[in-house]
Amino acid sequence: MTFGNKIKILREESDLTQIQVADLIPMNQSNYSKIERDQQEPDLHQLKRIAEIFGVSADYLLGIKNDETLAKDALFARNVITLYKEIYEK
């Protein structure tokens, strides 16, 4: 799924219009529409705001990792830290 498809689905699931999302970023609706149609890429600030608006990670939006994988990675990291502390802080 493309970046544009992901944010379009997230926007529709949130019952928001393109104008509403564009206002929250902030940017004009025309440029936001181009992002949804994969005709334009967001800059870093816009990417951050889009992730914040929809409550997802930038990794998820960019297709690097899905949120379930990120949650598993975070749990794994916490477990490693706990084990480290148990071994070396006795």
Give the count of beta carbons closer than 10 Å to the beta carbon of residue 21.
25
Q: In which domain, by residue range, is 19 found?
A: 3-65
Question: CA 38 to CA 8: how far, in whole Å?
Answer: 11
Q: Among 10-14, 36-40, 68-72, whose mean pLDDT is lowest?
A: 68-72
| Residue 44 maps to a domain | yes
| Residue 27 maps to a domain | yes
| Residue 83 maps to a domain | no
Please report the pLDDT score of residue 2 as a whole number. 94
Model confidence at 21: pLDDT above 70: yes
Backbone angles phi, psi at 37, to 5 degrees: -90, 10
Q: How confident is the model at residue 45 (pLDDT cuts 50, 70, 90)?
A: very high
Here the tokens at position 81 are 């830290």
Model confidence at 36: pLDDT above 90: yes
Average pLDDT over residues 56-64: 88
| Residue 46 maps to a domain | yes
| Residue 52 maps to a domain | yes
Residue 50's contacts (CB-CB under 8 Å, 6 or more residues apart) are 7, 21, 25, 42, 61
Look up the CATH number of the domain holding residue 7: 1.10.260.40
